[in-house]
């Protein structure tokens, strides 16, 4: 799999990871967890490492922790999760719980979810990073309406990562935020690259354009992800899935060629017309 450097450290990060929103919120039944274990196996075998979760994703942190700890499970994982609460004491308690659920002594990336009480939580994250409990600090938001605030926080604090929504049809991040992240050496992690699966409704029954082969694209899913990865400011995309076949298609988007700026404009125009 292709990698991109994390700007603040230079560490190489695989460009396709896994989101756990909704899909990892399952019980203990083997039938529910077996496909998720296979999804992780496919991710790791392809060279991926990033697994992103949150305490607001129900049981996802605990399920991910259990599966990552299973004998024979490949790794190591670049575990990313979030703190989503107000107050220093509650933030610390919540992050300690995440460490336990994820069965991790160190979290690769701890993110302030939706900027909730970000000034308070950022102070704690800096302490934890200095102590080695976390390796990177991030901020997130789920809606483009918060991009102006994300921009302000990026310029004021220069976190290691920003996680944001971005897709081939919702391109608000391209107006300023991606450039601001790049200018401040902030890695960009993209969520909702498929618009919750809605993009596939637009392409059902449509053939992939022949020119997609020019950048080693073999499916609509790869088309949507490669569009994002073609932007030089994007470090990693994290589509969520519980289906091994979908995971295999996702990781293929992180292999081979990527579209240049001219091709990306052509891709966006095609998507706008769907």
Is the pLDDT at 73 greater than 80, yes or no?
A: no
What confidence score (pLDDT) does residue 75 get?
67
pLDDT of 156 higher than 70? yes
What is the biggest distance separating any 2 CA atoms in the chain, rounded to whole angstroms? 56
pLDDT score recorded for residue 74: 61
The CATH H-level superfamily of 13-272 is NADP-dependent oxidoreductase domain (3.20.20.100)
Q: What is the pLDDT of residue 199?
A: 95
Given a cut of 90, whether residue 71 has pLDDT beyond it is no
The tens digit of pLDDT for each residue in 201-254 reads: 999 999 999 999 999 999 999 999 999 999 999 999 999 999 999 999 999 999
How much is the pTM? 0.96
The 10s digit of each residue's pLDDT in 92-151 is 999 999 999 999 989 999 999 999 999 999 999 999 999 999 999 999 999 999 999 999
Q: Which long-range contacts (CB under 8 A, 24 or more apart) does 240-245 make?
A: 240/18, 240/19, 240/20, 240/21, 240/22, 240/23, 241/18, 241/19, 241/23, 241/39, 242/23, 242/24, 242/35, 242/36, 242/39, 243/35, 243/39, 244/35, 244/38, 244/39, 244/42
């Amino acid at each position: 799999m292709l990698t991109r450097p994390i700007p603040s450290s230079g560490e190489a990060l695989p460009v396709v990871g896994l989101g756990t929103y909704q899909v990892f919120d399952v019980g203990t039944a083997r039938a529910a967890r077996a496909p998720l274990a296979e999804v992780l196996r496919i991710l790791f075998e392809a060279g991926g490492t990033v697994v992103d979760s949150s305490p607001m994703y129900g049981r996802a942190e605990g399920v991910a922790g259990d599966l990552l700890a299973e004998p024979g499970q490949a790794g190591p994982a670049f575990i990313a999760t979030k703190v989503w609460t107000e107050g220093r004491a509650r933030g610390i308690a919540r992050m300690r719980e995440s460490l336990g659920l994820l069965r991790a002594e160190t979290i690769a990336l701890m993110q302030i979810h939706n900027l909730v009480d970000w000034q308070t939580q950022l102070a704690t994250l800096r302490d934890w990073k200095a102590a080695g409990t976390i390796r990177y600090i991030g901020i997130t938001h789920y809606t483009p309406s918060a991009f102006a605030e994300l921009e302000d926080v990026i310029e004021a604090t220069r976190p290691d990562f920003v996680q944001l929504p971005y897709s081939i049809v919702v391109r608000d991040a391209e107006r300023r935020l991606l450039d601001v992240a790049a200018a401040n050496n902030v890695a960009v992690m993209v969520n909702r690259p498929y618009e919750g699966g809605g993009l596939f409704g637009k392409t059902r029954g449509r053939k992939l354009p022949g020119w997609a082969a020019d950048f080693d694209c073999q499916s609509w899913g790869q088309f949507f992800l490669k569009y994002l990865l073609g932007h030089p400011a994007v470090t990693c995309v994290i589509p969520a899935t519980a289906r091994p076949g979908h995971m295999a298609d996702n990781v293929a988007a992180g292999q081979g060629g990527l579209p240049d700026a001219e091709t990306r404009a052509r891709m966006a125009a095609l998507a706008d017309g769907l």
